[in-house]
């Protein structure tokens, strides 16, 4: 299998506080992990690409100082939303990639998502 | 500019009907994946297509990859209420290098199958 977990599944925090979300690949080592944000009834919006041992690559318009990404190992990446505000409320989803060997396709496996509500 | 055009965005049908979702681009795909997502959950990978002209079947779902690898379709036969969800196509628009499998997503198709 290819199982990706996320923790917590739901979090409510007060404005100005920071929230950490963990993403783990449970049964495989992930080449790369990605962080997405999703608004209701919309597609996924890529926030950043995370590789173990190196700095994350952020998409245009995503504030790297606000969304801190740490990729501690081949199975764990964390996203910290710093000084959260109500507009940061969203569904955050991570994915872990495997494959790409011998020119074959990469496949992304997604976590179950984290619902963040900032009050 | 949307690199991956997915249509239709919304689809509401009766149980037993057939439907097709399309995914198109002006760029060549290295590979393309279809996902299904239910509310409050992460997307679940349904299929990966790599070869131009490829056809893959998953029970009542048929996936086609265009010969030129610029388009793909998902066809569902005899839809059931359990098929309800958000369907996403996603493509790797370039291979190798430092892409690490970065995906470009279509806008998504919200499918509702009424009993």
Chain length of chain A = 119
> Considering Cα of A95, then A49, then A106, then A44, what sign does the dihedral take?
positive
The span from the CA of B68 to the CA of B46, in Å, is 22
Is the Cβ of A51 closer than 8 Å to some Cβ of chain B? Answer: yes
pLDDT score for A54: 82
Q: Please judge whether B95 and A112 are an interchain contact, meaning their C-beta atoms are less than 8 angstroms apart.
A: no
Q: pLDDT digit string (tens) for A44-89?
A: 999 999 988 888 999 999 999 999 999 888 899 999 999 999 999 9
Chain A CB contacts of B85 below 8 Å: none
Q: What is the pLDDT of residues B50-105, one digit of tens each?
A: 899 999 999 999 999 999 999 999 999 999 999 999 999 998 865 545 556 788 89
* pLDDT confidence band for A100 (50 / 70 / 90): low
Q: Which pLDDT does position A103 carry in this prediction?
A: 66
| Cβ-based contacts of B7 with chain A (< 8 Å) | none
């Amino acid at each position: 299998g290819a199982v990706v977990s996320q923790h917590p599944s739901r979090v409510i925090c007060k404005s100005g506080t920071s929230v950490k979300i963990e993403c783990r690949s449970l049964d495989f080592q992930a080449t790369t992990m990605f962080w997405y944000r999703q608004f209701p009834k919309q597609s996924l919006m890529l926030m950043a690409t995370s590789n173990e041992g190196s700095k994350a690559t952020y998409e245009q318009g995503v504030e790297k100082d606000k969304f801190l990404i740490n990729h501690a190992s081949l199975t764990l990446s964390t996203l910290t939303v710093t000084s959260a505000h109500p507009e940061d409320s969203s569904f955050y989803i991570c994915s872990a990639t495997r494959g790409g060997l011998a020119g074959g396709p990469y496949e992304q496996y997604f976590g179950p998502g984290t619902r963040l509500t900032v009050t | 500019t949307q690199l991956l055009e997915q249509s239709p965005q919304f689809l509401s049908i009766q149980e037993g009907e057939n439907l097709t979702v399309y995914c198109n681009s002006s760029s060549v795909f290295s590979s393309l994946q279809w996902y299904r997502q239910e509310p409050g959950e992460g997307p679940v990978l349904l299929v990966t297509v790599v070869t131009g002209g490829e056809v893959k079947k998953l029970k009542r779902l048929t996936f086609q990859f265009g010969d030129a690898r610029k388009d793909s379709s998902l066809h569902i036969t005899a839809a059931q209420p359990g098929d309800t969800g958000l369907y996403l196509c996603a493509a790797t628009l370039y291979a190798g290098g430092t892409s690490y499998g970065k995906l470009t997503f279509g806008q998504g198709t919200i499918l509702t199958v009424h009993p």
